[in-house]
Chains A and B, each alone.
Chain A
Amino acid sequence: MRSRWLASAAIVGLALAVPAAGQTSGRKTYLDKVINGKHMSETTARAAAQLAEFEQKKEPQCLQAASELLETIDLAKEKDAMKRLTLRRETLETWLALVALIDRNLDPNFNPQDVPSTGVAPPRVGNVSYPPGADPKLIADPQARARYEAALKQNKEKAENYRIQTWLKRFDESLSPKAERFVRMSYTTVPGDQREVNETVKKLIKNPQRASTLTRAAAPKQ
């Protein structure tokens, strides 16, 4: 089955190189290859492009857009058996790339209670305080102005990070079960299917808990 699968990949001209499990090819990781490489399926290619955009811009909505694209894939509608196998593998890889990106960017120390502020109050100099958000150039004292500029920068970064982490946390909760569902619904207990899931998980998933959950989703039920 494995050899037939590899042959089918060649037949459909799959351009995605498959390094051995756990290895990287050159400086690119397998994750990089999934999100930046070629896909047979236009839908997985578009989903991968959303993941690449997330990596570039750190815009969390890209992850949701990728998920929605992947959810439109209906393997049963692909009548060509070889193409269906390729589509299934590409969909699996893209789902796993999505959750791998969540894992890579999710901060385990993120504290949702530590909310950002809309603005920063300028330092008080003598008994003069400008209202929060006032332009730094109004602060005559250079040290106070520098402190204020640093606080403004820090607040902006905190707000941006809070936003990203909030969405990542929500998407981890809402999108991860969808990835698991795809594995559970699309792979059988035959050894070839099990091998494909296990090897893809090994290549893409660094988080041991995540890897265990995903491989369990495909594993024969006790």
Chain B
Amino acid sequence: MPNGDSDSSNPLDSPDSTGSTGGATRNCTTCTITSQTAVSAPPDRARTTIGVGEEVDLTCSDSSVGWSVTGDAVLSGSGTSATLQAGSTAGAVTATATGPTCTCSISFTVITPSNPFMEPKNGADLKHHNGRPDCGYLGEFYLQPDTVSFKNLEVREKNSKCAADGFYKNFNNTSHQPEGQTESAWFTMNDCITGKGTPANLDDTIYSGDPGGAGPPFEAGTMTFPIVWEYRVRGGAATALNQFEQKHVVDATGKCTTSKDGASASRVPGDPDGNPWPD
């Protein structure tokens, strides 16, 4: 489906140059550029709103054109086809094809990820030890919105230290990653899922831990990690996403609730063991 803009301002497009036969000029009053996103998810592949880093295949109706681009994007290719890859910043990007008789262009709106979205991994156990006030889960991480693909991004989690009190007081100031490590490795992304966003290829190990001690009753307590994720495009500079919290709460009955960016899971001491990862 053509979705490009055409422009007949090229002098060779004038009426005098049309209709010539056998010469160097050809009939051409307009040319068009059609676009198709490189990935099939989200399903609308003719969309002109794309994510940072997203690739779009372009085809010009004119033959043997030269391509150029304005805005933060990389464009490669020659002849009638080219591939545009959005850069790391939001804004407008325009690809222009200049052929022997026509010039035409197509514009895209590039958007950055809004917020991360997390949820417990479908089908995985919740982490728990029977008789203890501990809980956790394997989390999945998504970049939203789900209207574009962020498959070409990479994400990582920054290190941080928790504030902990009550039951968790012995964990106060414990780091989320080993000391001296400023962030996790970079993780790749996968195909966008409608309703969720673009998932990262990772399991987020989210767990309260257990400082030990007798109970019930247990001392109520809270442990909170400030969490910042970053993304990058094509190995470039890291951009921080909005900060959110990873929080663990225990009440006097030993009910443990672990939450991270809205995703939450609870266990009471009497619940059976659960081991999504080994002890």
Give me the interface of A with B, judged by CB distance under 8 Å: 59, 61, 64, 67-68, 71-72, 74, 112, 115-121, 123-124, 126-138, 152, 156, 159-160, 162-163, 166-167, 174
Contact status B78-A130, CB under 8 Å: no
B178 neighbours in A (Cβ, 8 Å): 133-136, 152
Whether B16 is near chain A, meaning CB under 8 Å from some CB there, is no
Contact status B203-A115, CB under 8 Å: yes
Contact status A127-B132, CB under 8 Å: yes
Whether B185 is near chain A, meaning CB under 8 Å from some CB there, is yes
Whether B209 is near chain A, meaning CB under 8 Å from some CB there, is yes
Whether B244 is near chain A, meaning CB under 8 Å from some CB there, is no
Contact status A118-B210, CB under 8 Å: no
Q: Mark B84-123, 1 if CB is under 8 A from A, else 0.
A: 0000000000000000000000000000000000000000
Number of A-B pairs, beta carbon distance below 8 Å: 117
A127 nearest CB neighbor, chain B only: B212
Partner of A167, one of B134, B162, B188, B277: B188
Contact status B187-A159, CB under 8 Å: yes
Give me the interface of B with A, judged by CB distance under 8 Å: 38, 74, 76-78, 127, 129, 132, 134, 136, 154, 157, 159, 162, 171, 174-179, 184-188, 201-212, 223, 234-235, 248, 277, 279
The interface residues of chain B, by DSSP majority, are classed as: loop
What's the Cα separation between A45 and B157 when bound, in Å?
Answer: 37
23 sample A-B contacts, Cβ–Cβ < 8 Å, listed by A number = A68-B74, A71-B77, A116-B185, A116-B203, A117-B203, A118-B184, A118-B204, A121-B209, A124-B210, A126-B212, A127-B210, A128-B211, A129-B134, A129-B209, A130-B209, A131-B171, A131-B176, A132-B205, A132-B206, A132-B209, A162-B201, A163-B187, A163-B188
A174 neighbours in B (Cβ, 8 Å): 38
User: In the complex where A117-B204, A127-B132, A152-B178 touch, is A159 in contact with B185 (Cβ < 8 A)?
Assistant: yes
Give, as a whole number of angstroms, the nearest-CB distance from B22 to chain A. Answer: 23
What's the Cα separation between A119 and B204 when bound, in Å?
Answer: 7
